[in-house]
């Protein structure tokens, strides 16, 4: 029988992702300590509450890291610039990043918004060695997205991720099998998957700090500290990991839900929420290259009575306005009873790839739809350039004026 084929795995991780996106959007932030996160009031003042979502490498030099309370980050890095997180923008950029990766292999497993594993074992004949593919992706991400990404290349997922972290930031690190034992030996045990704070403390108390020490421990002792995970962790410590790159299931629906802090009975207010949700769904759907036929409205009355209603459209759509008008129609068919609505959500499903031949509009009178399409695409461009608050539908502005 053949020997088990050696795998080629690439791990990619965008460096200081949110902060890098903000630095890209605002040239005056480049090279400066920038912290994304925190809560800002109406006057743009930063509250002491909240945590750091992402810190640029310049801010990290002062000891700032993700999940640190804002007040502490401010203390550590008084010169830091703070900016609010724009998750919709980061999700879009993330999709663009995954899209670049997917042009080299269908075996792709996103592990977070800015991190992905690729199995390129069967793609090397087409695109070159794993190193070449990783370099191509790195270059493309730099040229097309203007973002730094670190890459790690090895024969399994665990080692590829170790390699990425060894190269960060803007890294490119190849970890060949011959060097695995030597490189792992010196790393702290916490780098092993499955070792949390508690297990790390247990190991440290037993005098085991580095992976090399763990490997040379008798199985009996490891078993008593690590329990049933012992054998698996020992294999990882030796650089052995046979976990597969698992492609996520295809997207089946795109939805947004809002839970209110108090029950709502005012229809105008509910429309406003539906509009925001429809815009977010439309935007995400367009960016992922889909269109959907079924719009579902979910309404939860306090306490815990949920009503769902759907309309299936004659044609798939990804236009904010069509989603909104359909959701509004569904809303109008539901009578709002006391004590009001607790949760409101919109879902777009029956998704399909958004392929719409231009010619169709010539044989079919879709003037209205074409206009919306043009408007929507301009709005997307403005939002991508200036952020999602730059442009708002008139209905939202009118409402804001009224409440001011
Ligand atoms: Mg990252």
Ligand 1 mean position, distance from CA 5 (Å): 30
Which of 251, 292, 290, 298 has its CA nearest to residue 274? 298
> What integer best gives the mean pLDDT of the chain?
87
pLDDT in tens, 287-324: 777 889 999 999 998 767 889 999 999 989 999 999 99
Ligand 1 mean position, distance from CA 237 (Å): 24
Can you say whether residue 365 is alpha, beta or left, with left for phi > 0 and alpha for psi between -120 and 50 degrees? Answer: beta
Ligand 1 mean position, distance from CA 127 (Å): 25
Average pLDDT, integer, range 20-35: 96
Ligand 1 mean position, distance from CA 150 (Å): 8
Ligand 1 mean position, distance from CA 374 (Å): 34
Above pLDDT 90, what percent of the chain? 63
**Tell me, what's the pLDDT at 359?**
31
pLDDT in tens, 337-379: 888 899 999 999 988 766 543 333 333 344 566 677 777 777 7
What's the sign of the alpha-carbon dihedral 98, 313, 383, 39? Answer: negative
Task: Flag whether pLDDT at 18 surpasses 50.
Answer: yes
**Tell me, what's the pLDDT at 47?**
79
Ligand 1 mean position, distance from CA 167 (Å): 12
pLDDT in tens, 191-229: 999 898 999 999 999 999 999 999 999 988 899 999 888
Active site residues: 115
Backbone angles phi, psi at 292, to 5 degrees: -130, 155
| Interatomic CA distance for residues 60 and 150, integer angstroms | 17
Task: Flag whether pLDDT at 402 surpasses 60.
Answer: no
**Tell me, what's the pLDDT at 48?**
76
**Tell me, what's the pLDDT at 1?**
39
pTM of structure? 0.63
Domains of the chain by range and CATH? Answer: 1-175 (3.30.70.270), 180-237 (1.10.150.20), 254-403 (3.30.1490.100)
pLDDT in tens, 156-189: 999 999 999 999 999 999 999 999 999 999 999 9
The listed range with the strongest mean pLDDT (9-23, 92-106, 213-227, 299-313) is 9-23
Ligand 1 mean position, distance from CA 285 (Å): 24
| Interatomic CA distance for residues 13 and 73, integer angstroms | 23
**Tell me, what's the pLDDT at 106?**
85
Cα torsion for 178, 184, 185, 189, to the nearest 10°?
A: -160
Average pLDDT, integer, range 99-111: 91
**Tell me, what's the pLDDT at 285?**
86
Q: Per-residue confidence at 380, pLDDT binned at 50, 70, 90?
A: confident
Ligand 1 mean position, distance from CA 115 (Å): 6
Backbone angles phi, psi at 110, to 5 degrees: -70, 135
**Tell me, what's the pLDDT at 383?**
67
Task: Flag whether pLDDT at 128 surpasses 90.
Answer: yes
Q: Which residue has the tokens 């040379």?
A: 216
- What is the CA 381 to chain-centroid distance, rounded? 20
Q: Per-residue confidence at 34, pLDDT binned at 50, 70, 90?
A: very high
Ligand 1 mean position, distance from CA 116 (Å): 10
CB atoms within 10 A of CB 49: 10
Q: Per-residue confidence at 53, pLDDT binned at 50, 70, 90?
A: very high
* Better pLDDT: 367 or 280: 280
Q: Which of 236-250, 273-287, 336-350, 376-390 has the lowest mean pLDDT?
A: 376-390
CB atoms within 10 A of CB 5: 8
Ligand 1 mean position, distance from CA 168 (Å): 9
* Better pLDDT: 135 or 357: 135
Three-state helix/strand/coil letters over the chain:
CCCCCCCCEEEEEECCHHHHHHHHHCHHHCCCCEEEECCECCCCCECCCCEEEEECHHHHCCCCCCCCEHHHHHHHCCCCEEECCCHHHHHHHHHHHHHHHHCCCCCEEEEECCEEEEECHHHHHHHCCHHHHHHHHHHHHHHHHCCCEEEEEECCHHHHHHHHHHHCCCCEEECCHHHHHHHHHCCEHHHCCCCCHHHHHHHHHCCCCEHHHHHCCCHHHHHHHHHHHHHHHHHHHCCCCCCCCCCCCCCCCEEEEEEEEEEECCHHHHHHHHHHHHHHHHHHHHHCCEEEEEEEEEEEECCCEEEEEEEEEEEEECCHHHHHHHHHHHHHCCCCCCCCEEEEEEEEEEEEECCCCCCHHHHCCCHHHHHHHHHHHHHHHHHHHHCCCCCCCHHHHHHHHHHC
């Amino acid at each position: 029988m053949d020997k088990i084929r050696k795998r080629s795995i690439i791990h990619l991780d965008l460096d200081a992702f949110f902060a890098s996106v903000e630095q890209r959007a605002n040239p005056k932030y480049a090279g400066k300590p920038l912290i994304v996160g925190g809560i800002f009031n109406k006057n743009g003042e930063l509250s002491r509450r909240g945590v750091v979502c992402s810190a640029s490498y310049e801010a990290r030099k002062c000891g700032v890291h993700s999940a640190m309370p804002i007040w502490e980050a401010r203390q550590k890095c008084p010169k830091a610039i703070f900016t609010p997180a724009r998750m919709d923008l980061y999700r879009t950029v993330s999709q663009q990043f995954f899209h670049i990766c997917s042009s080299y292999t269908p075996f792709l497993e996103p592990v977070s918004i800015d991190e992905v594993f690729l199995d390129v074992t069967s793609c090397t004949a087409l695109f070159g060695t794993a190193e070449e593919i990783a370099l191509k992706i790195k270059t493309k991400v730099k040229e097309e997205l203007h973002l730094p990404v670190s890459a790690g290349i090895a024969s399994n997922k665990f080692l590829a991720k170790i390699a990425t972290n060894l190269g960060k930031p803007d890294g490119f690190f190849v970890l060949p099998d011959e060097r695995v034992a030597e490189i792992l030996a010196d790393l702290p045990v916490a780098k092993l998957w499955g070792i949390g704070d508690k297990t790390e403390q247990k190991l440290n108390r037993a005098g085991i700090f580095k992976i090399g020490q763990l490997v040379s421990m008798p199985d009996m002792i490891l078993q008593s500290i690590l329990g049933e995970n012992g054998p698996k962790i020992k294999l990882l410590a030796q650089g052995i990991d046979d976990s597969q790159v698992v492609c996520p299931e295809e997207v089946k629906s795109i939805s947004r839900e809002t839970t209110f802090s108090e029950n709502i009975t005012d229809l105008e207010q509910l429309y406003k929420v539906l509009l925001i949700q429809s815009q977010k769904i439309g935007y995400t759907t367009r960016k992922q290259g889909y269109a959907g036929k079924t719009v579902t409205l979910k309404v939860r009355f306090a306490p815990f009575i949920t009503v769902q209603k759907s309309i299936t459209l004659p044609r798939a759509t990804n236009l904010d306005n069509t989603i909104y008008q359909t959701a509004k129609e569904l809303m109008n068919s539901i009578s709002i009873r006391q004590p009001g609505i607790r949760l409101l959500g919109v879902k777009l499903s029956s998704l399909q790839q958004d392929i719409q031949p231009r010619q169709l509009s010539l044989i079919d009178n879709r003037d209205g739809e074409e206009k919306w399409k043009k408007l929507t695409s301009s709005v997307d461009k403005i939002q991508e350039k200036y952020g999602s608050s730059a442009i708002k539908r008139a209905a939202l502005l009118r409402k804001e004026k009224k409440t001011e």
